[in-house]
Structure 1
Amino acid sequence: MGIVEDLADELAVDALATSERLENEKIILEVSEILGASSTTAQEAYLTAIRVRRAEARARKYLEECRTKAAKAQ
């Protein structure tokens, strides 16, 4: 990845963790607004990283559920 994507991804990881720890979804949006005020390119990369990481988490949860069901069926 390029520097924008790398930095945006690192920020997304931190924002997701902080949001989860503090149980405050607004943190993710507020970080986005701060980025957007200075760089829409960074904001877009950040929001993409958020979406990708959330999608990956949902997919992993689904796979784990499938494994659990299969193990119980055996």
Structure 2
Amino acid sequence: MGITEDLADALARDAIAAAERLGDDTVISEVSDELGASSTTVQEAFLTAVRVRLAEQRARRHLDERLRRGPSA
């Protein structure tokens, strides 16, 4: 990845972790708004990274649950 994507991804990881720690998903929106005020390019990369990481988390939880249930009959 390029520097924009690398920085946005690192910030996305931190924002997701902060949102989980605080129990407040608006942290992600607040960070996005701050980025948008100075760089819409970085904001877009950040939001993409957030979406990808959250989708991956949901898919992993689904896979873990499916494995816990075991084989289908």
User: What's the TM-score, normalizing by structure 2?
Assistant: 0.94
Match runs of 1:1-74 below 5 Å: 1-70=1-70
CA displacement, residues 15-64 of structure 1 (integer Å, 9 cap, x when unaligned): 00001101111110000000000000000000000000000001101110
For 2:25 and 2:68, the matched residues in 1 are separated by: 29
The runs of 5 or more residues in structure 1 that have no matched partner are none
**Identical columns (%):** 60
For 1:66 and 1:27, the matched residues in 2 are separated by: 31
Cα RMSD after superposing both structures: 1.2
Q: Residue type matched to 1:39 in 2?
A: S
The runs of 5 or more residues in structure 2 that have no matched partner are none
Aligned residues between the structures: 72
